[in-house]
Amino acid sequence: MYVAVGQFAVTPDWRVNAVQCVNLMIQARQKGASLLVLPEALLARDDNDPDLSVKSAQALDGEFLQQLLAQSVGSTMTTVLTVHVPSTPGRAVNTLVAIRDGAIVARYAKLHLYDAFSIQESRRVDPGDVVPPLIDIDGFKVGLMTCYDLRFPELAVHLALQGADVLVLPAAWVKGPLKEQHWATLLAARALDTTCYVVAAGECGNKNIGQSRVVDPLGVTIAAAAEAPVLLMAEIILERVALARQQLPVLRNRRFAPPQLL
C-alpha cells in the first residue's frame, strides 16, 4: 500500500493548522495513500510560549478535529496525528488519534513524556497508562507511537509481538546537539528491533528538525524529508516484512520475556 507523511510547521492559530491538515489529507488521498501520518501536537505551537499546545487544548469533539473528521467522510484513508486534549484545569493529555471515514478509529494517550534535554513535558501534560492498540489498514497491522516513545524499544517490541507490521510515529523532535543523529539512528533501530516498517512524521518549525522518514523492516530509509514542509509518499509491501522476518528472525530468537507496562 502507499503511505503518505505530511511534514509542516505548526502555527499559533489552530484554524490555520486545521486547514493545513485538511489540505494534506486531500493531497494524500488524491495520490492514492491508504495511510497519512501527520506530526505531533497540531493544535497550536508558538516559539515564544512553550505551553501554547496545552493552553489551546480541545476535546476530541472540538472544532479542530471535527474539520478533519468531516474531510475524512467517504474516504478509506486513515489519518494519524496527535492533539492535546484537556484533562484537569491547566493540564492536558497528548493524544494520538487515527481517523477514517468520519470517525475516530483509535486513540492513544502518550506513555513516555518528554522530560529530557532541559524540557519537562510532564509539567503540564498527563501521561497515558494504556498500551496503544493495533489498527488494520489494507491488510497491514499498524502500531501507534508518539515522538519520545521512539527512545523506548519496549513499546515497539510489544507492538511487534502483538502482530504489528508497521509502526507510525507523529513527532515534534526538538533540535539540539546530536538530535538529528539520534532521530535517524533510533528510527532505524526500532525498525530493526521489530522488523516493522516505521513511518515517522516530524514537525518542521523553528525549534524542531522535520526530517520525516519511512524506514523499511531491514532499517533502510525508503523516503526522507529535510527541514522544509513536504508531503512524502512511499510504497510499503507486506511481503517485505515477511522476507525481513525470515532473514532476521529477531522476534522469534528473543530470550527475554515480552515487555510489560509498569
Enzyme catalytic residues: 40, 110, 147
Which amino acid belongs to residue 196?
C
Give the DSSP letter of residue 43: S
Tell me how far apart the 2 most distant CA atoms of the chain are, in Å: 51
Long-range residue pairs from 58-64, CB within 8 A, at least 24 positions apart, any chain: 58/14, 58/83, 58/84, 58/85, 58/86, 59/85, 59/86, 60/85, 60/95, 60/97, 60/104, 60/107, 63/14, 63/18, 64/14, 64/17, 64/18
Q: Give the torsion through C-alpha atoms of 7, 195, 155, 57, to 10 deg.
A: 20
CA atoms within 13 A on the CB side of 104: 17
The answer to whether residues 187 and 200 touch, using CB atoms and an 8 Å cutoff, is yes
- Report the alpha-carbon distance of residue 211 to residue 39 in Å, rounded: 11
- Coil vs helix vs strand at 82: strand
Of 80, 74, 71, nearest to 5 (Cα)? 80
How open is the CA angle 23-141-214, to the nearest 5 degrees?
A: 55
The three cell numbers of residue 11 are 502555527
